[in-house]
Amino acid sequence: MKRLHSLVISLILFSVSFSLADQAIKYTVLRAEPQHPRVTQLVTQILLRNHYKQLDLNDSLSAQVYTNLLEILDYNKSYFLKSDIESFKPFKYAFDDFLLSGRLDVPFMIFNTFQQRMAERLEFIFKRLETPFDFTKDEYYYPYRDSLDWAGSAAELDEFWRKRLKNEALSLKIAGKDDDNIRETLTKRYGNLKRRLSQNQSEDVVQIYLNALSSCFDPHTSYFSPKAKDDFNIRMSLSLEGIGARLITENDYTKVVEVIPGGPAAKSGLIKADDLIIGVGQGEEGEMVDVIGWRIDDVVQLIRGKKGTKVRLQLLHDPNALLLDAETILLTRDKIKLEDSAAKADTLHILSRGQSFVYGVIDIPAFYQDFTAQRRGDPNYKSTTRDVRRLIREMQGQGIDGLILDLRGNGGGFLSEADSLTGLFIKQGPVVQVKDSRGRIMQEVDRNPSVYYDGPLAVLVDQFSASASEIFAAAIQDYGRGIIIGSQTFGKGTVQSAADLNRYFPGSKYKYGQLKLTIRKFYRVTGGSTQNRGVMPDVDMPSRFEHDEVGESSRKNALAWDHIAPAPYVPENEVTPETITRLLRQHQIRLTQDSAFAAYAHKVEELRHKKRPQRYSLNLEKRRAERQDKEEDDKKKKKTDWGLLESGRVLSDLILIQKDGRR
């Protein structure tokens, strides 16, 4: 480790303000509180000793912490100046020392500089909004500064922010607002950012700093400050009465990270993970409140409400879309019941080579289990395996030719349910291997030799099928029990554990927060991990997204794929490599001969290669023309569920191939 000469940075708690007309921009210069050095040292030690990924606290890690800290604060290089970065650089290789000793003056100095720069930006913004924009000029807004060097002067940032404001104003102009309404809307929007600046607390700085460290280990490891922990627990306990969506703040936007199965959001089909919420309105006619720049707890407070009441949300489905492209949806708040998120069955009718087939389709939104009902002895307690078993029995009574399990969008759940569900389809044997940070390997094993369903089976997955979904799909594939159809799955093959830090300081009057860290990793029975790579389907469906854009591999410092020794197991080989080759041949024929399917695949391929816009025209007429083209394109979209339809076709091919083999 490199040692620095002692540097004394005196931080005095006081308020700073910039006055501009009726906009007073205030923030508090923050400093560490007595408990913060202790929690910094504790989190550092826990990560180094217990995280699955063994890292050394050295200059290399110090440089990562430094880079992460700047990215968390100013991801788009929109606030800091190059002179600020030059003043920070002497500390780049000293964060290892700071973490071990609990020294926090430098992280607080960097954060307070950021606050100062944000205040200066807000001063410019409110002054610029006093003058209307000229939308006849032929100029462009380049939104992404992440690949550029830091701005050399305030004037350079002024020009970037002028065009950013003009871009937002133009979106409102096309949406029908006049100059006064545009100024009012944007003043309110950036007033929210001003309010957030004034609400920063010392524990926010510590959380940002420790997450700059934790994210060096993997993307699922994070530190929650006491306030963030309390807010999270409140949201979790109340998330079952509202719209059924979990939210985070990302780049001044409220982002949907999960749509809870069975909730109003999921039932509507109008909101999905990664959507951005930019406005919230109460009831069918209440004022739409612009929430760009709001704190997450304030947005949640607006969205949350009593069962039966209505809330309107303005959504951006594409982070690169214009604000005027936002869709407004109406949801009725409700309490989410477990049965609403349970597996559901339907049938699919397919005509193939002159023969009719009827398939049972079971949609499994999550791997769930009602432990409370089970503990109190309820014989009808709900679980994924019990519900799927019942649905199979009901459909078999009606007569089905095969079964399709739809795991698209299934983010996982209880490992025990993935294990027991697999047991419905295989004779017996290991389902998944689990390795801990000490190298110890355990197996989850199905010990029941009976098979509940032994007919033709297809499992439908997509890039958002993760964790327990991947364990199940991998086991079905490795045993050769069924055909996997769809796109490469997410690739989350790790297990996290939460540590309440207060238990390390019994009797303390302070709160210390919580650390979530990765402690185990999943491996298939063949030995390969589901981490990072996920599960590759046997029959690949067109997908808009590349795996390295939305999957685990797209996330910074994601744990790598690796393998261990295979577990002893007996494949059932109902689907052999030779069979898959024949199924792929038929699939490719349909892609070329079915004009509607081919058009769908072509459109998906176009979207896959469509790059994010590098610039936006700030000319009103050009922008209107771009919007009209987009609206015409949207009208051409069809709602055919090609994934489900093709699953039925592939399963029909499988049945016919198996019949041929038995003749």
- Residue 134 CB neighbours (<10 A): 11
Q: CB under 8 Å to 445, separation ≥6 — which residues?
A: 419, 428, 429, 430, 431
Give how far the C-alpha of residue 434 lies from the chain's centroid of Cα atoms, to the nearest Å. 24
- Residue 6 CB neighbours (<10 A): 5
Q: What element of type H or E holds 415? A: helix 415-423
Q: Virtual CA dihedral for 406, 411, 416, 421, nearest 10 degrees?
A: 0
Q: What element of type H or E holds 127? A: helix 105-128
Query: What whole-number distance in Å separates Cα of residue 431 and Cα of residue 468?
Result: 11
Q: If you search the block for the tokens 């009726």, which residue do you land on?
A: 22
Give how far the C-alpha of residue 52 lies from the chain's centroid of Cα atoms, to the nearest Å. 22
Query: What whole-number distance in Å separates Cα of residue 647 and Cα of residue 640?
Result: 13
Give how far the C-alpha of residue 486 lies from the chain's centroid of Cα atoms, to the nearest Å. 20
Query: What whole-number distance in Å separates Cα of residue 254 and Cα of residue 562?
Result: 35
Left (φ > 0), alpha (ψ -120 to 50) or beta: where does 451 sit?
beta
Residues 280, 303: contact at Cβ < 8 Å?
A: yes
Query: What whole-number distance in Å separates Cα of residue 290 and Cα of residue 278?
Result: 6
Left (φ > 0), alpha (ψ -120 to 50) or beta: where does 202 sit?
alpha
Position 633: which residue type? D
Alpha-helical segments (H) within 468-594: 468-478, 547-550, 577-593
Q: What are residue 499's DSSP bridge partners?
A: 515
Query: What whole-number distance in Å separates Cα of residue 286 and Cα of residue 307?
Result: 17
How is residue 78 written in tokens?
């929109």
Q: What element of type H or E holds 139? A: none
Q: If you search the block for the tokens 């349909």, which residue do you land on?
A: 590
Give how far the C-alpha of residue 586 lies from the chain's centroid of Cα atoms, to the nearest Å. 35
Position 33: which residue type? E
With residues binned 3-state (H G I as helix, E B as strand, rest as coil), the percentages for the chain, rounded to 5, are: 40, 20, 40
Q: Could you list the active site residues?
A: 467, 478, 492
Give how far the C-alpha of residue 139 lies from the chain's centroid of Cα atoms, to the nearest Å. 34
Position 656: which residue type? L
Nearest alpha carbon to residue 211 among 367, 64, 38: 64
Residues 30, 202: contact at Cβ < 8 Å?
A: yes
Q: CB under 8 Å to 258, separation ≥6 — which residues?
A: 245, 246, 273, 411
